[in-house]
Chains A and B, each alone.
Chain A
Amino acid sequence: EAAVTQSPRNKVTVTGGNVTLSCRQTNSHNYMYWYRQDTGHGLRLIHYSYGAGNLQIGDVPDGYKATRTTQEDFFLLLELASPSQTSLYFCASKGLGVSYEQYFGPGTRLTVL
């Protein structure tokens, strides 16, 4: 089964702070995704990538940047964090091809005070 890890697992920052969330997958998957999940809602797609150096805008991208430095690593950047970005963030990966399941990391809980 695909292995997706995230760090940190928990993060507290203040409004205006700079935060980087990290995701690594070790299964040579081409696709990687960043989602946020809020209570009472399903996951919503922030950014995704087809491969190293590639970045695609998701459905809720405002306030977020992302960078895919290698096949394995995908980062989510909050340069001016706001309380509305307090959420549970999930990273996922998917293999080459269009119809394959996504595998999710354990999540990062971010609190912006």
Chain B
Amino acid sequence: GDQVEQSPSALSLHEGTGSALRCNFTTTMRAVQWFRKNSRGSLINLFYLASGTKENGRLKSAFDSKERYSTLHIRDAQLEDSGTYFCAAEDYNQGKLIFGQGTKLSIKP
């Protein structure tokens, strides 16, 4: 089965609200990256975490290697936050990234 399970697969929020995305890992991972794929198809780096939490503006991410999960919190959502969000876990073996299936986030006025 998939080593990285991302949820939800789709999420709709009204402007100004917030929510969380989650990735669960079937095995211990070295680090996690979060990306947003924008309307032009480009992958934007959001976070890289080897442990703990990081915050950048309205986004906050956490990674717990021992408990095998990572989260991405969005607060005060804006229209430009729309897109598909991916988590990707870095394995210990060769440092490869294993991607989740993505969360399609839609922000509504």
Contact = CB atoms under 8 A, between A and B. Distances in A.
**Pairing of A with B:** yes
Interface of A: 1, 31, 33, 40-45, 48, 56, 58, 88, 90, 94, 98-104, 106-107, 109
Given A41-B102, A43-B99, A101-B48, 18 more contacts: A1-B45, A31-B95, A40-B101, A41-B101, A42-B6, A42-B99, A43-B88, A56-B94, A58-B96, A98-B30, A98-B95, A99-B30, A99-B50, A99-B90, A101-B31, A101-B33, A104-B42, A107-B41
B100 to A, nearest CB: 5
Contacts of B77: none
Contacts of B95: 31, 94, 98-99
Given A98-B30, A98-B95, A99-B31, A42 B43 contact: no
A101 B45 contact: yes
Give the bracket for the number of chain B residues in contact with chain A: 20 to 34
A102 to B, nearest CB: 6
B102 A48 contact: no
B contact patch SS: strand
B68 to A, nearest CB: 17
Interface in B26-46: 30-31, 33, 35, 40-43, 45
B25 interface: no
Contacts of B40: 106
